[in-house]
Chains A and B, each alone.
Chain A
């Protein structure tokens, strides 16, 4: 299976994924994204990290493993940026420590409650399939398709629209925020 893969495309997709994740966290740049993606593939192929390509019987399993490695590397990347003081906190103090460091997820600092409320209202009016996906976000596309009695292709398209809806809501709220100032 591994020899049949278009590895250059796999790595390019991983760069795009890393870049998007870094942008969501408001950190890093293209060079960081490439470095993280390359390191993830290197680790996947490196027995020192306990990986074995024989363990991945299809491209999907490989994709999930790479995604998991990249997420770990991005967490490390963020931790390095956080203050060293975080390391000396007791577990009881950790929530505050985490909030002060690498978990500053939304760069725009919008109220998630408001984003979700506005998103649901928008989806109910415009896109019922995408609205259902909001509730099924923990399922993989194939599982969502089975759950909703839709084709996987329909689900992929709805996921794409859902991403656009979220971005539209964010833009809308940010613009209202600016109008208030």
Chain B
């Protein structure tokens, strides 16, 4: 993963970083945000009004109980991710086969697709493959916890 990124990748990342300035009130004024919305075909006043209404309703749903539940779940998720990092030793072929299976799973495929975009398994070192496997395992555990949570 230490290879020099291609021009396409550099340009993509550069523009992504610059786009993110829209989120930063210090970098982009409200007027510039409105200009951006207008350029995209939106009416800034309408977007702002809808945003205010949406947030008012969403924040009204929050309560002290919500905070407590959020903290408890976050802790459980953190523990799950920690456990996922306790890596099971696999051979290179086993890791590739594991990722191939994960790719067929709608819940687990995202990190695999993202990692292999524009690259093949041969482009990755064993450690890099293991990192992707870790990520998939973390997702798997989170999904299991979410499923358990739904049954509570």
Q: Which residue of A lies closest to B51 (CB)?
A: A11
Question: Nearest Cβ in chain B — how far from A167, in angstroms?
Answer: 10
- The answer to whether A8 touches B69, judged by C-beta atoms less than 8 angstroms apart, is no
Known: A52-B74, A91-B96, A116-B11. A19 touches B42 (CB 8 A): yes
Within 77-125 of B, Cβ neighbours of A (below 8 Å) are at 77, 96, 99-100, 103-104, 106, 109-110, 112-114, 116-121
Question: Nearest Cβ in chain B — how far from A22, in angstroms?
Answer: 8
Chain B residues with Cβ under 8 A from A91's Cβ? Answer: 96, 99-100, 103, 112, 116, 120-121
A17 at the interface (CB under 8 A from B): yes
Chain A contact residues: helix, strand, loop or mixed:
helix
Chain B contact residues: helix, strand, loop or mixed:
helix
Known: A16-B37, A20-B22, A116-B10. A98 touches B50 (CB 8 A): no
A178 at the interface (CB under 8 A from B): no
Known: A79-B113, A103-B117. A52 touches B70 (CB 8 A): yes
Given A12-B33, A156-B26: 15 more A-B contacts, CB < 8 Å: A11-B54, A41-B54, A48-B146, A50-B73, A51-B70, A54-B67, A63-B20, A91-B100, A94-B103, A116-B10, A116-B11, A134-B14, A163-B18, A166-B15, A166-B18
Chain A residues packing against B (C-beta within 8 Å): 7-17, 19-21, 23-24, 29-30, 33-34, 38, 41-42, 45, 47-48, 50-55, 59-60, 63, 66-67, 72, 75-76, 79, 86-92, 94-95, 98-99, 103, 105-106, 112-113, 115-116, 134, 137-138, 141, 152, 156, 159-160, 162-163, 166
Which 6 A/B pairs are nearest by Cβ-Cβ distance? A47-B70, A112-B8, A8-B52, A11-B51, A50-B77, A19-B40
